[in-house]
Amino acid sequence: MIKFIKNFRKDENGAVTVDWVVLTAAVVGLAVAAYTAIEKNTKDLANAAASEISGQDDF
């Protein structure tokens, strides 16, 4: 049993997998945050442009 515990402690294959899962989750989280910010600002800009255009007098 002691030999199993020592081997388990030395094995780092699972640790690399955990690192990649955490890194991937962080990248996805940042992508979602960036998409949300871009989407909101784009909608605000489109609404401002539409109100400016609709406020212009026709000649």
Question: What per-residue confidence (pLDDT) applies to 1?
Answer: 86
Residues 27-54: what's their mean pLDDT?
93
Both structure tokens of 17 = 């997998």
Rounded-to-integer distance, Cα 25 and Cα 36, Å: 17
Residues 19-48: what's their mean pLDDT?
94
- Matching residue, tokens 């989407």: 39
Confidence check: pLDDT of 4 > 70: yes
Question: What per-residue confidence (pLDDT) applies to 43?
Answer: 92
Query: Three-class SS of residue 49?
Result: helix
Confidence check: pLDDT of 25 > 90: yes
State the pTM of this model: 0.55
